[in-house]
Chains A and B, each alone.
Chain A
């Protein structure tokens, strides 16, 4: 019984502090979106807010990295991200080309300068 409890504990935590605090915003959105029109001003504003929050998450993942990525210097991460983005723009907005270029730059820089 005790071992079973130990094994189920991470799943219980997933629901309690992962699923529920995440899902609550989707449900709020569903409840509050009733009666709204797709080009109503609240919806246009909401889209801008969602985009800005997502951009904030992106910047934080690159600038304040954790785990194995944190072992690669900040300057390498930033330069690789900028380089990848420039390739993305140059390659007619190809996400694949941009991500690939960014990864190559990161690995090359990480190989040379990792601490």
Chain B
């Protein structure tokens, strides 16, 4: 990390936007998203929804876990309230992500409406890369850079959703299973890659352990509790370590 070097600056907002888009297309998340959305495209085909439905849900929902839940429940006659509840629980993580991201994006002259687009764009890939890259960029260029990067990711996801949809039409079940495995694997490793601080590593490990445990115990709102318990424990350990060093 160029912690001490001068912050990166751009000549205009559009230059920052295109630099962001270029960063997205050259980052490892490009492959991760391609893999994830090929898997989701396959799932969409499996459940009898259309490829355009998937593309629009990628733009509107823009969260792979919520989209997976939606795709697998919406055609199976599940109660609408149940679907909405599952989607909203999977989306709870977006709340702390936005809370953590906004102070990085916001400068002294930022208006609320400038933050609306980055808020909608907030998702795992964009969040991880924003926290990594934005601190080295001058404050006034962070929002256009972030929007360009997010637009690049979203376009990649939408395109590969179509690819997966039409691949699934011709793939045997084992390979289709392999496509679905791309989502957890890419999420796991991209999160681990970004976990430099003990706080992040501990949050990851605790979530991996507590999540399934609560599911087995059939606890209501299990994802919410996974986050609150695992995240708070990781935070407390982080505070204690800081206080003692």
Q: Show the binding face of A for B, using Cβ within 8 Å.
A: 10-11, 13-30, 32-34, 36-38, 40, 42-72, 77, 80-81, 84-85, 88, 93-96, 98-99, 102-103, 106-107, 110-111, 114
A24 and B180 CA atoms in complex are apart in Å by 27
Indicate whether A66 sits within 8 Å of B72 (C-beta atoms), given known contacts A58-B188, A81-B184.
Answer: yes
Query: Which residues from chain B sit less than 8 Å from chain A, CB to CB?
Result: 28, 31-32, 35, 42-43, 46, 49-50, 53, 56-57, 60-61, 63, 65-68, 70, 72, 74-75, 80, 83-85, 87-88, 90-104, 112, 115-116, 119-120, 122, 124, 127, 173-193, 195, 199-200, 202-212, 214-215, 222-224, 226-232, 234-235, 238
Total number of residue pairs linking A and B with CB closer than 8 Å: 329
**B226–A52 touching, CB < 8 Å:** yes
Can you report 20 A-B residue pairs in the complex whose CB atoms are below 8 A from each other?
A: A14-B61, A22-B90, A30-B102, A43-B99, A47-B199, A49-B227, A50-B93, A50-B95, A51-B195, A52-B204, A53-B224, A54-B93, A55-B205, A57-B93, A59-B211, A60-B212, A68-B42, A85-B192, A95-B31, A95-B186
Give Cα A43 to B199, complex, Å.
12
Distance between Cα atoms of A23 and B96 in the complex (Å): 13
